[in-house]
Amino acid sequence: MAVPEAIRRRVEQLRREIEYHNYRYYVLDSPVISDAEYDALMAELRRLEEQYPELVTPDSPTQRVGAPPSEAFAPVRHEVPMLSLDNAFTDEEVRAFDRRVREHLGVERVDYSCEPKLDGLAISILYENGRLTRAATRGDGFTGEDVTANVRTIRTVPLRLLGAGWPERFEVRGEVFMPIEGFERLNRWTLRHGEKVFANPRNAAAGSLRQLDPKITAQRPLDFYAYGHGVFPREKLPDTHHELLDRFLSWGIPVSPLREVVQGVEGCLRYYRRMLERRDSLPYEADGVVYKVNRFQWQERLGYTARAPRWAVAHKFPAHEATTVVEAVEVQVGRTGILTPVAKLRPVQVGGVTVSSATLHNFEEVKRKDIRVGDTVIVRRAGEVIPEVVKVIVEKRPPDAKPVEPPERCPVCGAEVVADPGGTLIRCSGGLYCPAQRKAAIKHFASRRAMDIQGLGEKLIDQLLEKGLVRDVADLYHLTAEQLARLERMGPKSAQNLIEALEKSKHTTLARFLYALGIREVGEVTAQILADRFGSLERLMEADEAELARIPGIGPVVAKHIVAFFRQPHNLEVIEKLRRAGVHWEAEEKAAAPKPLAGKRFVFTGTLSSMSREEAKRRVEDLGGHVTNSVSKKTDYVVAGENPGSKLDKAKQLGVKILDEAEFLALLRQAGA
Ligand code: D41
């Protein structure tokens, strides 16, 4: 059957596109599409070539393992080719892989060795008589580049092996990668020194390893995990992949601490789900997990296709990056007046979530990345952070793309825009006269951890401000059920509920009240420290900068903001109005009780067997401590119960003190609860 002309043309077009993207990625280190889009192009080409084998040519991108090596480093011919890995994107594809493996071997069940798939670059390291003698990149799988001098600078890669029993001559294969923290530090540095920032840790690792001056590589925070072998005498191999990795470790070669042997495909899929959950708290980027038939004998029976082993597959996580178009840039006014540019995007799926806007952080960032309206951009959503624009694909810029200028006046109230003393930020000078700031202030005041006014949402606040029913937070307490019932989407019942919620919120604590006021830099924990220290609002309002700055955990900047806040006549008026409306808190007796956990920040993860999460939270708070939801460098303790989640990983990563349930109970007892 003749191949339709349209198919012929499409195949040619796919090849040309893929070749171009290979060049952008491998030679220029500057891709213009995301990995997921590249994978999709390759998958389409492979599918068409499978359907019409007569179209396959030796120079098709599907017929080679990677990209050509570049000229700068001496070429190294791999004695054992460095194959690539097949990808699976769905559970179904993984099940099909497992089925093929079992049918080929004629067995019921296979044990797989699983490990995270690090997003770095593959290298092969040769050890001779226990010494590192050569290291090479993967290149096109057959010929790589000699990067020995650079790999020698990676501190975790042993130059001499430990222990005993290693073969006289063998190769370790693994991934060189850059941990996220080091990547961010590196980018802050390159930014300050006016150098090019790296789009992601993978590019940073590749760029660092391919430095012509190893002194530069030595300053880069590179790390390495081994995941396999190249040259290796058959008779010295253990029975399984997992045992080989254990041996590597005993010789001082780092391997992933998350590697695991599982039974059958269901074990693989469970491993995948666990790793996907932990993905965001890992100290490095992982773009999936890899399953390998554990038994070497079985690996040998399965063998290889032209491209990849039949005994291994990479199960990819949803992509972190996608390309889309910037349709507009809006300016948001925050509670403290900071103007933040936000890109409105043509909606796109990123990592399993639809993304339609991305923060641009500040106008300096917009200028640095040269983001214009109409540009095609790569967006990225990693970890728990807000989506970001990584870079512009300048090649796709339409002629009428519009540059983004920082506004000279606040887009909401028209007040003059002033530069923040820090430099990068700009701020609306309208203060509480700016409706946007007023709205944000009211929203903050009503929020759950502040005055906790249930039912007072953003839409309602909009209406109250528009109709002039509320100008400041104190006006909330003068609203009547009749006024509320007349608003859109409100009936007599919800109006009455809101009045009751307002009434209930009047009874609060000094810490919550201070937090609700929205003083700059005074978050929940600082508010608690102030409440504990001063016991009353009056005492706090009398304190001067020096006294405040002496308090542990406060500092001079916060002290300045507190004093400035209480000097504003408008703020004093609002506070007075709030108290007249009946806002009150437990007085000083309780504040005077001892607070042995004052200022300490706790995070809970997992289930406690002796008490509920609420109970634990209350007991910590009664002792002056504070409970937050996410782990940061400021966290003092992470309490881990049964089945802890990713917060535990994060705590380990940041070196935060971890308490098990018994230790937590001991701490409470010691503190006198
Ligand atoms: O973490 C990785 N990126 C990783 C890559 C891994 N954990 N295991 C891998 N295993 C292999 C085989 C099965 C061929 C030994 C790999 C790769 N290959 C690989 N990385 C780049 C190309 C191939």
Asked whether residue 426 carries a pLDDT value surpassing 60, the answer given is yes
Looking up residue 201, the CATH number of its domain turns out to be 3.30.470.30
Other Cβ atoms closer than 10 A to 50: 11
Mean pLDDT calculated for residue range 362-391:
86
Is 252 part of a structural domain of the chain? yes
pLDDT band at 66; cut points 50, 70, 90: very low
Which of 42, 175, 279 is the best mutation target for the ligand 1 pocket, counting ligand atoms within 8 Å of the beta carbon and taking the most?
175
Looking up residue 494, the CATH number of its domain turns out to be 1.10.150.20
Q: What pLDDT was estimated at residue 67?
A: 45
| Span from the CA of 291 to the centroid of ligand 1 (angstroms) | 10
Axis-axis angle for helices 91-105, 264-278 (nearest 10): 150
**Which residue among 117, 369, 391, 600 is the active-site one?**
117
Q: What pLDDT was estimated at residue 385?
A: 62
Q: What pLDDT was estimated at residue 432?
A: 81
Is 412 part of a structural domain of the chain? no
Amino acid, single-letter form, for residue 397 = R
Question: Is 117 considered catalytic here?
Answer: yes
Is 493 part of a structural domain of the chain? yes
DSSP state of 551: S
- Asked whether 111 and 262 are in contact (CB, 8 A), the reply is yes
Same domain as 652, residue 565: no
pLDDT band at 577; cut points 50, 70, 90: very high
- Asked whether 165 and 248 are in contact (CB, 8 A), the reply is no
Residue that finishes a domain, picked among 385, 403, 421: 403
Protein residue closest via CA to atom 23 of ligand 1: 84
Same domain as 148, residue 250: yes
Pairing state between β 321-333 and 376-380? antiparallel
Alpha-carbon distance of 196 to 379, in angstroms, equals 18
pTM: 0.55
The pLDDT > 70 percentage for the chain reads 95
Is 423 part of a structural domain of the chain? no
- What is the extent of the structural domain holding 284? 87-316
End-to-end CA distance of the chain: 83
Same domain as 158, residue 307: yes
Question: Which is it for the CA torsion 543, 546, 552, 556, positive or negative?
Answer: positive
Task: Write down the mean pLDDT value for the chain.
Answer: 89
Is 80 part of a structural domain of the chain? no
Of 66, 538, 532, nearest to 307 (Cα)?
66
Secondary structure (H, E, C), 580-594:
HCCCEECCHHHHHCC
Is 62 part of a structural domain of the chain? no
Is 411 part of a structural domain of the chain? no
Same domain as 197, residue 334: no
Specify the ligand 1 atom closest to the Cα of 228. Answer: 15
Asked whether residue 109 carries a pLDDT value surpassing 90, the answer given is yes
Secondary structure (H, E, C), 282-344:
CCCCEEEEEEEECEHHHHHHHCECCCCECCEEEEECCCCEEEEEEEEEEEEECCCCEEEEEEE
Q: Which residue has the higher pLDDT, 576 or 64?
A: 576
pLDDT band at 33; cut points 50, 70, 90: confident
Contacts of 2 (CB under 8 A, 6+ apart): none
Mean pLDDT calculated for residue range 195-210:
85
| Span from the CA of 216 to the centroid of ligand 1 (angstroms) | 26
Contacts of 420 (CB under 8 A, 6+ apart): 338, 426, 427
Least confident of 23-37, 126-140, 440-454: 23-37
pLDDT band at 240; cut points 50, 70, 90: very high
Same domain as 576, residue 488: yes
Same domain as 624, residue 568: no
Q: What pLDDT was estimated at residue 71?
A: 54
Tens-digit pLDDT profile for residues 145-169: 999 999 999 989 999 999 899 999 9
Residue that finishes a domain, picked among 316, 349, 369: 316
Same domain as 584, residue 440: yes
Q: Within its chain, how far is the Cα of 331 from the centroid?
A: 24
Residue that finishes a domain, picked among 403, 424, 445: 403
Same domain as 299, residue 327: no
Mean pLDDT calculated for residue range 232-249:
96
Mean pLDDT calculated for residue range 363-384:
87
pLDDT band at 68; cut points 50, 70, 90: very low
| Span from the CA of 176 to the centroid of ligand 1 (angstroms) | 11
Is 664 part of a structural domain of the chain? yes
Number of domains in the chain: 5
Same domain as 646, residue 502: no
Looking up residue 665, the CATH number of its domain turns out to be 3.40.50.10190
Asked whether residue 1 carries a pLDDT value surpassing 90, the answer given is no
Of 649, 641, 553, nearest to 601 (Cα)?
553
Question: Which is it for the CA torsion 466, 471, 477, 479, positive or negative?
Answer: negative
Amino acid, single-letter form, for residue 101 = V
Alpha-carbon distance of 364 to 424, in angstroms, equals 6
349 strand-pairing partners = 354
Asked whether residue 310 carries a pLDDT value surpassing 90, the answer given is yes
- Which residue reads 């079985």 in tokens? 298
Looking up residue 20, the CATH number of its domain turns out to be 1.10.287.610
Looking up residue 338, the CATH number of its domain turns out to be 2.40.50.140
Same domain as 382, residue 242: no
Same domain as 326, residue 282: no
Most confident of 146-150, 154-158, 243-247, 649-653: 243-247
| Span from the CA of 283 to the centroid of ligand 1 (angstroms) | 19
Which of 125, 290, 311, 317 is the best mutation target for the ligand 1 pocket, counting ligand atoms within 8 Å of the beta carbon and taking the most?
290
Same domain as 587, residue 516: yes
